[in-house]
Amino acid sequence: MSVENLMSRHLVTVELDDTLRTVREIFSHAKFHHLLVVEEGRLYGVLSDRDLLKALSPRIATASETEKDRATLNKKVHQIMTRKPIVVKPKDSVYDAIELINKHGVACLPVVDAENYPVGILTWRDILRVLGAKRVE
C-alpha cells in the first residue's frame, strides 16, 4: 500500500513569518496536531501543537500574565519550527513511512511532490486507523 492511500489531503499551512498567536488560534479550532510551514508553496518545516506549548509562556491567559508572557505570542513560526522535516512521496510504501516514523521518532511525515510542494500529510494516527480497520475485517 502506498502513502497516497492513507495520507490526509486537507492541509493547513502557515508561513515562516506568521506569529505564534496565529498558530495558537489555528490549533484552538483544529482537531489536528501539525501544521506545515511553507513559503511560496514549498515546504520548509513542520510545527506541532507541542512545539507551540513549549514556546509559549505557561502564564498566558492567567491572572499572573505579564507583558513579557504576552510577548511570546509575537514569536515567529520560523523560530520554533522543525526545519528540514523528514518527508515521503505519495508513491512511497506505507511500510517505508512507518520505518521512518520509528527511526526518527516523529509523529507525522509531510508528503511532497518532486519540487517539494506539500500534497498531503501522513500521521501515525492515519496508519493506526487503517490497521485497526483491517483487523476488524
pLDDT single digits (tens) 98-122 = 999 999 999 999 999 999 999 999 9
Residue 30 and residue 23: Cα distance in Å, rounded? 10
Structural Rg of the chain based on CA atoms: 16
Q: Output the pLDDT for position 135.
A: 54
pLDDT > 70 fraction of the chain, expressed in percent and rounded = 95
Backbone φ and ψ for 69, nearest 5 degrees, come out as -65, -45
SS3 123: strand
We find that the CATH architecture of domain 3-136 is Roll (3.10)
Pick the range with the lowest mean pLDDT from 32-36, 40-44, 63-67: 63-67
Statement: residue 22 has pLDDT above 70? yes
* Pairing label, strands 34-39, 13-15: parallel
